[in-house]
Structure 1
Amino acid sequence: MTENDNNRTQIFNKVSEIVADHFDIDRAKITDDLNLKTDLDADSIDFVEFVLELEDTFNAEIADDEAEKLSTIGEVVDYIDQHTAD
């Protein structure tokens, strides 16, 4: 496992914790393919709160237009991985 894979795994685990808590879903059901809007039935307020929690957790800023493009857990993890410092 490369350092980048390890970093992505750590981000995935943190994102999974946030999703599990925020959307009251079993963490075992959270995969890269889980769709925030269709699988979790997240409305716009849920999604905004989720993004704010991500920003706080990862000390990152996610622009509204970028956040709108994020639909799956994998996309969220990849975005955070690419936009945060090591």
Structure 2
Amino acid sequence: MFERITTYLAEQFDFPKDSLHWDTTFKSLQLDSMDMVEMMMDMEEELGVDFDQNDMAELTTIGELADYIEKKLNEG
């Protein structure tokens, strides 16, 4: 899942993929709440899972998001 998220960020927001790491924060990438909502909607559509907006507000790094999505997929 980490690979999928970093590919998405590189493609959508033009970040160098090799600069994205497990502990990279969304704040350090300067993603605003609208960027995060867009990413979540795209991930929900692609993966067929629903994300809880309250949970999403707690996620601060790419790794935390990857773990969260893996957990949701395993529940599914």
**TM-score, scaled to structure 1:** 0.79
- Structure with the greater alpha carbon radius of gyration: 1
Residue 27 of structure 1: aligned partner: 17
Does the CA-based 8 Å contact 1:16-1:27 persist in structure 2? Answer: yes
Which runs of no fewer than 5 residues in structure 2 stay unpaired?
none
How big is the shift at 1:57?
2.3
% identical equivalent positions: 27
How big is the shift at 1:56?
1.8
Q: Which has the higher contact order (CA 8 A, sep 6+)?
A: 2
1:67 aligns with 2:56: yes
Q: Which runs of 4+ in 1 moved over 4 A?
A: none
1:76 aligns with 2:51: no
How big is the shift at 1:58?
1.9
How big is the shift at 1:46?
0.8
1:51 aligns with 2:40: yes
Cα RMSD for the two superposed structures = 1.4
